[in-house]
Amino acid sequence: MKTPAATPDQSAKEAGRRIVHRTRGHAQGPITRLMSPGDLGRRLKPFVFLDLFDIEKNSSFGFGPHPHSGIATVTHLFEGGARYQDTTGATGILPAGGVEWFKAGGGAWHGGGGGQALSRRGFQLWVALPPEHELGPVESIYQAPEEVARDGPASVLVGTHGGAASTLKSPAPLNYLAVRLKAGESWRYQPPAGHTVAWMALAKGSASLAAAERVDAGELVVFEPTEAAIDLRADVDTELVIGSAPPHPHDLVLGSHSVHSSPAALMAGERQIGEIGARLQKEGRLPA
Q: Which domains does the chain have, with CATH numbers?
A: 17-249 (2.60.120.10)
CA 29/CA 34 separation, integer angstroms: 13
Written as tens digits, the pLDDT of the chain (288 aa) is: 444 444 444 444 455 799 999 999 999 888 999 999 999 999 999 999 999 998 776 555 566 788 999 999 999 999 988 888 888 888 888 889 999 999 999 999 988 766 555 678 999 999 999 999 999 999 999 999 999 999 999 999 999 999 999 999 999 999 999 999 999 999 999 999 999 999 999 999 999 997 679 999 999 999 999 999 999 999 999 999 999 999 999 999 999 889 999 999 999 999 999 999 899 888 877 765
CA 175/CA 157 separation, integer angstroms: 8
